[in-house]
């Protein structure tokens, strides 16, 4: 049993809507919307927010990987972002893609990152201001990151396998049906060509949604501690790998573990089930 925390480990990484409204015109803040629905930003967004798409902006367009450091520099520069800019991410689907974009920014070492609690849906439901006006910021000269922090916050298939063999914590954040191998994708999502269902041997099932309230905000620190420390058995200092289907839901859990609970060695296996379930010879467990 771990002592129940009374507040998030890094409360500065999560902002509420009132804070956001007060910083809409803050030159040191860039609001970034990242969605699953590719045209959602165009239908209206938080005033001053720029749009970064997980696929066309953050991913390499040829191989399955993220953009190169020089492309990241270009992306930030054209959105008026400097290394000192505080980037506040928000989006649809309870901030899945916002957390994914935040995690990708961390891959390139951008440190000043925050999530808007509740994301786009809560902002809109609360009647906060929205606009269709696309902002234009003076281009900056974001230096090309010298390294990508893959080793620190990203896991690859061989590392997930090593984690499994060493019986170290692996958290599968997909739905219970996906974990059991009954389905290979979320119920309402297209099948994206995974040949096998199940989970990585030794992985514990803790769906991403367990960490959120009905309005998509994050649960209090004490509740999160019960879920991840008591139920999943995670401990500070222990290597933890999280995964889902393509890395977006696990980015959400990665944010919870890293920023809200303060675990230091959490890596997101973004290849996730679309890689593992197709990988020849990869060990798989089915059922509970």
Question: Considering Cα of 226, then 8, then 199, then 38, what sign does the dihedral take?
Answer: positive
Cα–Cα distance for residue pair 264/6, rounded to 1 Å: 19
Closer residue to another protein in complex, CB, 86/270: 270
Ramachandran assignment for 70, one of left (phi > 0), alpha (psi -120 to 50 degrees), beta (any other)? alpha
Asked if 42 is part of the footprint of another protein (rule: CB under 8 A), the reply reads: yes
Nearest approach in angstroms of CB 109 to another protein is 26
Q: How many residues bind another protein (CB under 8 A)?
A: 17
Cα–Cα distance for residue pair 184/179, rounded to 1 Å: 8
Provide the mask over 2-41, with x wherever binding to another protein is found by CB under 8 A and - wherever it is not: ----------------------------------xxxxx-
Asked if 192 is part of the footprint of another protein (rule: CB under 8 A), the reply reads: yes
Which listed range, 18-26, 173-181, 188-196, 210-218, lies at the site for another protein (CB under 8 A)?
Answer: 188-196
Q: Looking at residues 52 to 71 of the shown chain, list those that interact with another protein (rule: CB under 8 A).
A: 53, 55-56
Asked if 188 is part of the footprint of another protein (rule: CB under 8 A), the reply reads: yes
Closer residue to another protein in complex, CB, 65/111: 65
Q: Looking at residues 88 to 107 of the shown chain, list those that interact with another protein (rule: CB under 8 A).
A: none
Cα–Cα distance for residue pair 21/39, rounded to 1 Å: 23
110, 178, 182, 248, 257 from 188: Cα distances, Å:
34, 12, 14, 16, 27
The backbone torsions φ and ψ at residue 14, rounded to the nearest 5 degrees and listed phi first, read -125, 125
Closer residue to another protein in complex, CB, 8/92: 92
Nearest approach in angstroms of CB 146 to another protein is 29
Asked if 43 is part of the footprint of another protein (rule: CB under 8 A), the reply reads: yes
37, 112, 135, 201, 254 from 106: Cα distances, Å:
23, 9, 24, 28, 12
The backbone torsions φ and ψ at residue 145, rounded to the nearest 5 degrees and listed phi first, read -60, 140
Active site residues: 244
Tell me which of 190, 237, 281, 287 binds another protein, using CB under 8 A: 190
Nearest approach in angstroms of CB 100 to another protein is 14
Ramachandran assignment for 221, one of left (phi > 0), alpha (psi -120 to 50 degrees), beta (any other)? alpha
Applying CB under 8 A, the residues found at the interface with another protein are: 36-40, 42-43, 53, 55-56, 185, 187-192
């Amino acid at each position: 049993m771990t002592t129940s925390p009374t507040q998030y480990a890094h409360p500065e990484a999560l902002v509420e809507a009132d804070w956001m409204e007060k910083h809409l015109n803050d030159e040191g803040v860039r609001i970034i919307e990242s969605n699953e629905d590719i045209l959602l930003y165009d239908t209206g967004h938080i005033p001053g927010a720029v749009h970064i798409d997980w696929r066309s902006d953050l991913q390499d367009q040829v191989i399955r990987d993220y953009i190169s450091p020089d492309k990241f520099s270009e992306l930030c520069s054209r959105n008026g972002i400097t290394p000192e800019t505080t980037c506040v991410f928000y989006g649809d689907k309870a901030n899945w893609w916002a957390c994914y974009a935040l995690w990708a920014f961390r891959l390139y070492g951008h440190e000043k990152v925050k999530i808007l609690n509740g994301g786009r849906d809560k902002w809109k439901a609360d009647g906060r201001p929205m606009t269709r006006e696309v902002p234009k910021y003076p281009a900056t000269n974001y230096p090309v990151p010298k390294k990508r922090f893959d080793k620190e916050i990203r896991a690859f298939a061989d590392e997930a396998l090593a984690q499994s063999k060493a019986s170290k914590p692996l958290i599968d954040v997909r739905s219970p049906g996906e974990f059991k191998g009954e389905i290979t994708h979320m119920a309402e999502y297209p099948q994206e060509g995974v040949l096998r269902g199940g989970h990585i041997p030794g992985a514990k099932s803790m769906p991403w949604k367990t960490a959120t309230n009905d309005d998509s905000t994050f649960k209090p620190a004490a509740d999160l501690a019960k879920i991840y420390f008591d139920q999943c058995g995670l401990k500070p200092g222990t290597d933890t790998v999280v995964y889902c289907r393509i890395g977006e839901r696990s980015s959400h859990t990665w944010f919870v573990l890293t920023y809200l609970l303060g675990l230091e060695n959490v890596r997101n296996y973004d290849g996730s089930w679309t890689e593992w379930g197709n990988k020849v010879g990869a060990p798989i467990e089915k059922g509970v």
